[in-house]
């Protein structure tokens, strides 16, 4: 019979994509002793959110192949149950015994082990939310100031917003929610023609007004007005499609802060 080997050792190795924690067993034993359980418990305490991928049991070359296969499986099963009892996620884990197949020739104590392969949850850096340009403009504005809602534009002759306008709407909504005393007037504008028979600029202002009210902004904090093409950014007639898009816009006027 082999001399008695002292209590287990626990070893944690790091890898880039996968990490390992190895439990070394005493001779012919498939359960931890007191010292080993304390170390294993400490590892579990330090890694409550790991995702266990594999639990592989091993044995040394002492004894028969069949017995060592069974011993390695019992060691793996024992570790599995300890992890499960500690509420470690072992769902879909691969649990397997390799017997003495991967042991060294000198029956090393390093062969009597269970290897836990696991992955730690990815810890993302905290998102630092920066203040938007529109929020900065509102912060430094005075009552009566007008602020163009950059990138809030519409299809020609319609009150339908271009897809690029949605983030601007959401930003304006967040600003109003963060500043409960802020009151604004929403002002609609059109391009291309001095006359505005369809009142499209008013419809555009109402579109923004309705979005804000629908999403929780008190209507008493909002009003709207339309200016047609009387206050273009670029003179009429515009020289390019980009100038037309810029003139089809909505601005806000600060009414109260």
CATH number, position 165:
3.30.1330.60
**Same domain (yes/no): 139, 101:** no
CA angle in degrees (0–180, nearest 5) for 172-178-181:
95
Number of domains in the chain: 2
- pLDDT reported for residue 34: 81
Sign of CA dihedral 68, 73, 77, 83: positive
Is the pLDDT assigned to residue 138 strictly greater than 60? Answer: yes
- pTM of the predicted protein model: 0.51
Lowest model confidence (mean pLDDT) among 19-23, 103-107, 149-153, 173-177: 103-107
Domain-ending residue, one of 119, 146, 177: 119
**Same domain (yes/no): 177, 202:** yes
Which residues constitute the domain of residue 243?
Answer: 133-256
Domain-ending residue, one of 59, 90, 119: 119
> Which residues are registered as beta bridge partners of 118?
19, 52
Lowest model confidence (mean pLDDT) among 89-98, 122-131, 177-186: 122-131
- Report how far residue 125's alpha carbon sits from residue 72's, in angstroms, rounded to the nearest whole number: 41
Q: Which helix (H) or strand (E) holds 199?
A: none
Nearest Cα residue to 222 out of 200, 199, 254, 248: 254
- pLDDT reported for residue 28: 92
**Same domain (yes/no): 138, 44:** no
Q: Residue 145: how many CB atoms within 10 A of its CB?
A: 13
- pLDDT reported for residue 106: 73
Q: What is the pLDDT of residues 235-250, one digit of tens each?
A: 999 999 889 888 888 8
Give percent of the chain above pLDDT 70.
Answer: 93
């Amino acid at each position: 019979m082999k001399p008695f080997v002292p209590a287990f050792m626990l070893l944690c190795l790091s890898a880039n994509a996968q990490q390992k924690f190895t439990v070394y067993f005493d001779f012919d034993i498939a359960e931890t002793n007191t010292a080993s359980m304390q170390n294993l418990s400490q590892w579990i305490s330090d890694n409550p959110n790991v995702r266990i991928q594999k639990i592989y049991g091993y044995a040394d070359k002492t004894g028969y192949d069949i017995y060592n296969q069974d011993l390695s499986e019992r060691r793996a099963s024992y570790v599995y149950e300890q992890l499960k009892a500690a509420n470690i996620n072992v769902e879909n884990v691969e649990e397997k015994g390799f017997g003495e197949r991967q042991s060294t020739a000198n029956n090393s104590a390093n062969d009597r082990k269970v290897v836990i392969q696991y992955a730690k949850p990815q810890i993302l850096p905290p998102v630092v939310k920066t203040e938007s340009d529109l929020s900065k403009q509102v912060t430094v504005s005075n009552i009566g100031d007008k602020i163009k809602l950059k990138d809030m534009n519409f299809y020609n002759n319609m009150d339908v917003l271009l897809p690029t306008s949605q983030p601007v709407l959401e930003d304006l909504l967040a600003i109003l929610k963060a500043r409960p005393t802020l009151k604004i007037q929403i002002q609609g504008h059109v391009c291309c023609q001095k006359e505005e028979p369809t009142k499209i600029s008013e419809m555009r202002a109402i579109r923004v007004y309705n979005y804000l009210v629908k999403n929780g902004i008190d209507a008493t904090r909002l009003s709207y007005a339309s200016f047609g093409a009387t206050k273009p950014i670029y003179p009429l007639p515009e020289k390019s499609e980009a100038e037309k898009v810029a003139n089809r816009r909505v601005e806000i006027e600060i009414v109260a802060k």
